[in-house]
């Protein structure tokens, strides 16, 4: 805030903005909420699973839920695998980073680059592990794991192995006998668990659905926004930097895109294509770049005439280098704000699509759950729970974006 006394050491504008941002209570609150949602998404298989987290019988100690993380027969969609990899690798990576920073003097920049390399490795989705037939992809089809709560309960009490189970004892893609549209608090005789938030029309536990739906919402937000920004930044940068007739041409393109009511456009396109969650993400991304292009163009227009750009041009640097290494870092701040809102918008758009019945029915997304609530209006928990979840994530992202804007905007800071 403005009345904080200026710190004695030199700070970059980024650090200053971050301090202003984090000084706000609502920012800290929003960060905590987002952190919770992301953690729930990443650790959903440990929050809700039929498989034992730890299983200790006469064959020794095993960790079925962990072993199952890379089983393609349990997790078929690629985003699940991404989150599973993250779940497994995030804690060691954080520890390594902490240790490195403790003991080695290393610049943030190099650490960040290493971080990016690791993230790309994660994104490749298939870390290779040694196996019988040499190194094979970790994400593969594996045998059905029997060390689950149902087997455990079927055993006589005195011969049950020591086992630790997830707090919610339901699989996200299981339909339990007689579980269709049960009200919150109903007991599941098969697993001994309780449907804390009831079940949906497919006999799935709503709470489990919410946990795994967080993954979908986050993926949709990131992929769709990432795609929109990729296109928007290229078009906006080219348009703003070169100006002239290229600018005129590209801006007319942007205007044509902006003329379409976005949601109606998405509806039309999705209605013609397959109901696959990744197609939906791509469509949301492909229709959302116009605003970004406008924003980037404005930044590039104002920067392209500044002295440092002229100096770089005089040095004979290639255009792409000036655009993406010189101007881009200076123009990134408003983009970050815009991205925050973009993610919120994408999450809303995906839920909206699913709500009108154009979602991917094979994916446990919050919107799909809400659409079930619309169809089975007599069962209110199907509307309230996913509705509340979507409300929280969208509101939090908007709150963070707003605070970020105020923190970065130099006019707000004396």
Partner 1 sequence: MNAAKWTLLIVTAALLIYMAVDRWRQPQQLQRVRQSVDRLELALQELSRTQRQLAEALAKQPAVIPQGNQPTTTTVHAPAFDPTVQDGNPKLGVNFLMPYDRSHYHPEWQGGTLKAFGSTPRGLNPLTDNSSTSNDVHARCNDSLCERPATHPEQWSANLAESVIISDDYQTYTFTLRKGVRWQRPTVASQAKYAWLAKDVPLTAADFKFTLDLILNPAVDCPALRNYYEDVEKVEAPDDHTLIVRWKRKVYTSLSFSMGLSPLPRHIYGHSADGTPIAPEQQGVAFNKHWFDEISGVVGVGAFIFEGYEPDKVMRFRRNPDYWGAPLHFDVIELNLEVKKDDAQLIAFKNGQVHTHGLTPLRYKAEILDHKEPRFAALDPNDPKAGRKGELAWTRFKALNFSYLGWNIRRPLFSDKRVRQAMSHAFPKERIINEVFFGLGQAILTDVHPDNQYANKAVKPYAFDLERAKVLLAEAGWSDSDGDGTLDKEVDGKRLPFRFIIKYYSDSPEWDNTLLIYKNELRRIGIDVEPKPFQWKELIRVYEDKDFDAVVGGWRMDWDIDYYQLWHSTQADVQGGSNHCGFKNARVDELADKLRATFETPERIAIAKEIQAIIHEEQPYTFFRSGEGIFVWQNHGKPATDLYLKGVTIGLDTLHPLVNRSAANWHFRE
The contact set with partner 1 (CB under 8 A) reads: 71, 73, 76, 132-133, 140-144, 173-175, 177-181, 201-203, 238, 242, 244-246, 249, 275, 319, 357, 361-362, 372, 374-379
For 34, 44, 105, 108, 277, the CA distances from 37, given in Å and listed in that order, are 5, 10, 33, 27, 20
CA 47 to chain centre: 18
Rounded CA-CA distance 207/194 in Å is 10
Give the residue with the Cβ less far from partner 1, 148 or 351: 148
The least distance separating partner 1 from the CB of residue 360, rounded to whole angstroms, comes to: 8
Paired residues of 164 in beta bridges: 54
- Are 382 and 390 a contacting pair, CB within 8 Å? no
How many Cα atoms sit within 13 Å of 34 on the Cβ side? 19
For 85, 293, 296, 344, the CA distances from 261, given in Å and listed in that order, are 38, 17, 21, 18
Give the residue with the Cβ less far from partner 1, 19 or 173: 173
Paired residues of 55 in beta bridges: 62, 163
The least distance separating partner 1 from the CB of residue 340, rounded to whole angstroms, comes to: 29
Angle at 118 between CA 113 and CA 123, to 5 degrees: 120
Give the residue with the Cβ less far from partner 1, 14 or 178: 178
Residue 77: which of 414, 400, 362 has the closest Cα?
362
The least distance separating partner 1 from the CB of residue 209, rounded to whole angstroms, comes to: 13
The least distance separating partner 1 from the CB of residue 183, rounded to whole angstroms, comes to: 9
Give the residue with the Cβ less far from partner 1, 366 or 379: 379
Give the residue with the Cβ less far from partner 1, 92 or 143: 143
Tell me the torsion sign for CA atoms 359, 360, 361, 367. negative
The least distance separating partner 1 from the CB of residue 202, rounded to whole angstroms, comes to: 5
The least distance separating partner 1 from the CB of residue 171, rounded to whole angstroms, comes to: 8
Give the residue with the Cβ less far from partner 1, 114 or 181: 181
């Amino acid at each position: 805030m403005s009345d904080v006394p200026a710190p004695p050491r030199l700070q970059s504008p980024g650090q200053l903005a971050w301090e202003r941002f984090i000084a706000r209570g609502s920012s800290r609150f929003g960060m905590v909420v987002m952190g919770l949602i992301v953690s729930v998404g990443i650790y959903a298989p440990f929050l809700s699973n039929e498989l034992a987290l730890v299983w200790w019988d006469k064959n020794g100690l095993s960790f079925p839920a962990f072993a199952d993380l890379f089983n393609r027969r349990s997790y078929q969609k690629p985003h699940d695998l991404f989150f599973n990899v993250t779940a497994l690798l995030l804690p060691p990576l954080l520890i390594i980073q902490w240790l490195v920073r403790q003991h080695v003097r290393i610049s943030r920049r190099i650490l960040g680059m290493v971080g990016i390399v690791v993230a790309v490795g994660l994104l490749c989705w298939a870390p290779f592990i040694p196996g019988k037939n040499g190194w094979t992809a970790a994400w593969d089809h594996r045998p059905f794991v029997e060390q689950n709560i149902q087997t455990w309960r079927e055993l006589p009490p005195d011969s049950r192995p020591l086992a630790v189970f997830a707090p919610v004892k339901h699989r996200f893609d299981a339909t339990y006998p007689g579980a269709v549209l049960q009200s919150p608090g109903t007991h599941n005789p098969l697993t001994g668990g309780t449907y804390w938030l009831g079940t949906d029309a497919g006999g799935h536990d709503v709470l489990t659905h919410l946990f795994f739906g967080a993954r979908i919402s986050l993926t949709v937000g990131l992929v769709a926004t990432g795609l929109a920004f990729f296109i928007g930044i290229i078009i906006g940068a080219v348009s703003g930097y070169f100006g002239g007739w290229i600018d005129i041409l590209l801006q007319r393109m942007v205007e044509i895109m902006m003329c379409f009511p976005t949601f109606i456009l998405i509806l039309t396109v999705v209605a013609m294509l397959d109901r696959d969650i990744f197609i939906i993400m791509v469509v949301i991304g492909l229709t959302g770049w116009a605003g970004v292009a406008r924003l980037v163009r404005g930044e590039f227009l104002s920067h392209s005439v500044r002295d440092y750009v002229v100096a770089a041009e005089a040095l004979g640097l290639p255009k792409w280098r000036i655009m993406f290494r010189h101007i881009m870092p200076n123009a990134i701040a408003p983009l970050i704000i815009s991205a925050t809102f973009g993610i919120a918008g994408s999450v809303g758009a995906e839920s909206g699509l699913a709500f009108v019945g154009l979602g991917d029915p094979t994916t446990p997304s919050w919107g799909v759950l809400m659409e079930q609530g619309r169809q089975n209006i007599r069962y209110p928990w199907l509307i309230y729970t996913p509705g509340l979840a979507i409300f929280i994530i969208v509101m939090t992202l908007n709150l963070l974006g707003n605070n970020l804007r105020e923190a970065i905007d130099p006019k707000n800071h004396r």
